Amino acid sequence: MDIIKQPWPWYVAGPLIGLIVPALLILGNKTFGISSTLRQICAACIPANISFFKYDWKKDTWNLFFIAGIVIGGFIAAHLLSNPGPVGINPKTIVALQQQGIKDFSGLLPQDIFSFKALTTLKGFVFMVIGGLLVGFGTRYAGGCTSGHAIMGISSLQWPSLVATCCFMIGGFVMTWLILPYLLQL
φ, ψ for residue 80, nearest 5 deg = -115, -25
Residue 136 clears pLDDT 80, i.e. is over it: yes
Domain boundaries, the chain: 1-82, 91-186
pTM score: 0.71
- pLDDT, tens digit, for every residue of 110-129? 888 888 888 888 888 998 89
pLDDT at 1: 67
CA atoms within 13 A on the CB side of 35: 18
φ, ψ for residue 73, nearest 5 deg = -65, -40
Given a contact cutoff of 8 angstroms between Cβ atoms, the answer to whether 57 and 40 are in contact is yes
pLDDT mean across residues, the chain: 84
Q: What is the mean pLDDT of residues 29-55?
A: 79
Confidence band, pLDDT 50/70/90 cuts, at residue 141: confident
Residue 53 clears pLDDT 80, i.e. is over it: no
Cα torsion 61, 63, 68, 72: sign: positive
Measured CA to CA, the distance from residue 106 to residue 114 in angstroms comes to 11
